[in-house]
Structure 1
Amino acid sequence: MPEAASTALPTLDDVAREAGVSRSTASRAINGGSRVSPAAMSAVEDAVARLGYAPNRAARSLVTRRTGSIALVMSEPDRRLLSDPFLSAVLVGVNEGLAGTDLQLVLLLSRAGEPGRSARYLRSGHVDGAIVVSHHRDDRLETELAGGAMPVVFIGRPFDERVRTYVDADNLEGGRIAARRLVERGRRRIGTISGPLDMTAPLDRLAGWREVVTAAGLPDDAVVEGDFTVAGGAAGMELLLDRYPDLDAVFVASDLMAEGALRVLAAAGRRVPQDVAVVGFDDLGGAERTTPPLTTVHQPVVDLAAGATAALLELLDGGAPPSRTYPARLTEGGSA
């Protein structure tokens, strides 16, 4: 009976022996080539390829103090990841941005009633850096990570000015764009369903909407806070119709909420855009599924994810990338 083939994985000693160099030279060659001659570097690379050697990340981390992983922190419950196209697009975009690197992506989701849990995990050295998205004022991520040693990039303008690097859409101008479209269409009783007001993006969108509405001499009291869900948009629209029966336009601060708002308007017999004009915010594909197709403010989520990932990689390499804000623009539909 033939002897079973060995399944032992090649070791660093095997690589050194195959390349005809010392173990320390092989280690330096594999870990960046510091103080290794071109000839020895080439010999080690050839030996690694022939043997199929894969470095032991755990052992390497003891030397380099690097884990080889970064975290994407979403300060939202897990059900939001499955239903919110913005969060899922960020996840895909960050993962794609790591293509060509050896970094692994770790996904951290918040747990209700446990503020600070994610920050404690990050500060414990489990990852080399982090990208934080959908953060809230009271989740303690900003205060506990700002000014720390670990590289971190926020998607969305932080409240804490100590945060050094973030990327964001121009939410203030986005709110202006939405309100301007409704004013230009001759609407005189314009409401809004905001996002959660413990986040900077909804606050900025609301401020932009209010700036244009008040400049037009129109009332700015028709405001309902939403939660970036379809159900939240429906509930917000019901409140607006009940409180302001003369409403003839609404800016809804996310397309998911706008879907819910449109359903309520249809059930109430309000025609869109004839009776009530509607503008959403995001432009992540949902606008095409609504009836009528939604007029919405485009949020460049692909650029945000790519920009945040590039900034974090630069921070990991010792750089100091500046924060960046991406422009907003209107995507035409049939609702306004």
Structure 2
Amino acid sequence: MLTAAAGTPNPANRAPTLAHVAKLAGVSPATASRVLSGSARVSRAARLQVEEAVERLGYVRRGSATRTSASTGAIAAVLCADSTRVFADPFYAALLWGMRRELDGGAQLVILMVGKHREWRVAADYLRGEHLAGVLLVGARQDDPTALVHAAAGVPVLLAGRPLTDVPLPYVDVDNRGGAQAAVRHLFAAGRRTIATIAGPADLGAGVDRLAGYRLAAAEAGLNVTGLIAHGDFGRPSGEHAMARLLARRPDLDAVLAASDPMALGALEALRRAGRRVPDDVAVIGFDDAPIAQRVRPRLTTVRQPVEDFGARLIRELRALIAGRPITDRGVVLKTKLIVRDSA
């Protein structure tokens, strides 16, 4: 970790340079350059120091003077998930369709998946190829090296989802916290008093914010949430396992908010296996309003996030950054809406 002892290498607040990165990281400029060029001839410790310095300074690797003229205008969508998750979760299909719809046959959309750490290096190498107009970073987790992508690209980078670190990048997100609050309030108004949640990953902004919304609404209603919180990874199997754990800990629960529709479907399966009727014994609410929410029985009450519009807004915001619009408001947050059906 970098410490205050490293000093402030850029007191004049000018655009940070490679020398500033090297000084803050405590390495030579040559070592910093090797890290940013993806060289294997660097220790892991030095690599981590340089990546952290890049993130703290907001350093962007500058391309050559011919970069703009050589650019094809392509936009890269870097999906911070492995291919199994991307192809199984309808969220990604809807998001990418929204992006493609907004591009309307204009710029090419290049999709990179970085589910494994080594794939970040491959993605960074690609981004250094000097043929992109901008980058969309989708679903970056707390420990993902977002600064590496920022530095490698040398073009505007926009985050899809609120970052959990103070990385100096603009973002577009949905109101995850407010959506979860609305769901819990609905359950409380319906007479439910032992409301559990299957939260998403603790290293992802959406997971953190949906859990925070659940906690806020529970506190507002004076509910005790002891033993009523379990975590999943947004996937269906994790929802099923989390629901089983919750039932074992709190067999008296009468409602559950799952932080994704796939986890809600897993919860429905666990409840069926346990002999619990939905919604008579246990009410269930999901989050997404994926197409499956209307096909499952009982039809799923869920928090709708405008996924296609989310994708389209990402493209519009990135285009504005590419055109040189100054960043005045770092975050854009889209509204969510509770869709009440049969399960709650």
Deviation of 1:328 (Å): 1.3
- Deviation track 1:278-298 (CA, whole Å, cap 9, x = no partner) reads 111001212112211011011
Q: Which amino acid aligns with 1:105?
A: L
Q: What is aligned with 1:58?
A: none
Q: Contact between 1:146 and 1:160, CA under 8 Å: does it hold in 2? A: no
Give the aligned residue type for 2:143. D
Q: How many residues align?
A: 275
Q: Which residue of 2 aligns with 1:325?
A: 333
- Per the alignment, residue 298 of structure 2 pairs with 292
1:224 aligns to what SS in structure 2? Answer: strand
**Which segments of 5 or more consecutive residues in structure 1 lack a partner in the other structure?**
1-60
Verify: 1:138 aligned to 2:143, yes or no: yes
2:164 pairs with 159, 166, 178, which one? 159
SS of 1:114 mapped into structure 2:
helix
Residue in 1 that maps onto 2:342? 334
Residue 81, structure 1, aligned to residue 86, structure 2: yes
In structure 2, do the counterparts of structure 1 residues 126 and 65 end up closer, same or farther at CA, with 3 Å as the change threshold? closer
1:123 positional shift? 4.1
1:183 counterpart residue number: 188
* Distance in structure 1 (CA, Å) of the matches to 2:148 and 2:285: 34
1:235 has 2:217 as partner: no
2: CA distance, partners of 1:63 / 1:294? 48
**What secondary structure, in the 3-state scheme, does the structure 1 residue paired with 2:118 have?**
coil
Task: Judge conservation of contact 1:146–1:164 (CA < 8 Å) in 2.
Answer: no
SS at match of 2:158: strand
Moved more, 64-73 or 304-313: 64-73
Question: For residues 43-54 of structure 1, what are the structure 2 equivalents within 5 Å?
Answer: none
SS of the aligned residue for 1:67 comes to coil
Shift of 1:85: 0.8
Distance in structure 2 (CA, Å) of the matches to 1:167 and 1:271? 38
SS in 2 for 1:279: strand
Displacement of 1:214 after TM fit?
1.8
Scaled by the length of structure 1, the TM-score of the pair is 0.77
2:263 to 257, 273, 297: 257
Q: Does 1:270 align with 2:276?
A: yes
Contact 1:147 1:162 in 2 (8 A): no
* Equivalent in 283, 289, 312 of residue 283 of structure 1: 289
Asked if structure 1 preserves the Cα contact closer than 8 Å seen for 2:278 and 2:298, the reply is yes
* Contact 1:116 1:141 (8 Å CA) reproduced: no
| Aligned partner of residue 313 in structure 2, secondary structure | helix
The structure whose Rg is larger is 1
CA contact (8 A) 2:141 2:204 kept: yes
Contact persistence 2:289–2:302 (CA under 8 A): yes
- 2:215: which partner in 1? 210
Which amino acid in 2 is paired with 1:192?
Answer: T
Counterpart CA distance in 2 for 1:316 and 1:181 is: 42
Inter-partner Cα distance in structure 2 for 1:302 and 1:62: 31
> What letter matches 1:258 in structure 2?
A
What fraction of aligned residue pairs are identical, expressed as a percent? 43
Please say which of residues 209-218 and 145-154 is displaced more in the overlay.
145-154
For residue 176 of structure 1, what is the amino acid of its counterpart? Q
Q: What TM-score comes out, normalization by structure 2 length?
A: 0.75
Instruction: For 2:264 and 2:131, locate their aligned partners in 1 and report how far apart those are by CA, in whole Å.
Output: 39
The 4+ residue runs of structure 1 with deviation greater than 6 A are none
Structure 2: stretches of 5+ with no match in the other structure? 1-65
Give 1:208 deviation, angstroms.
0.7
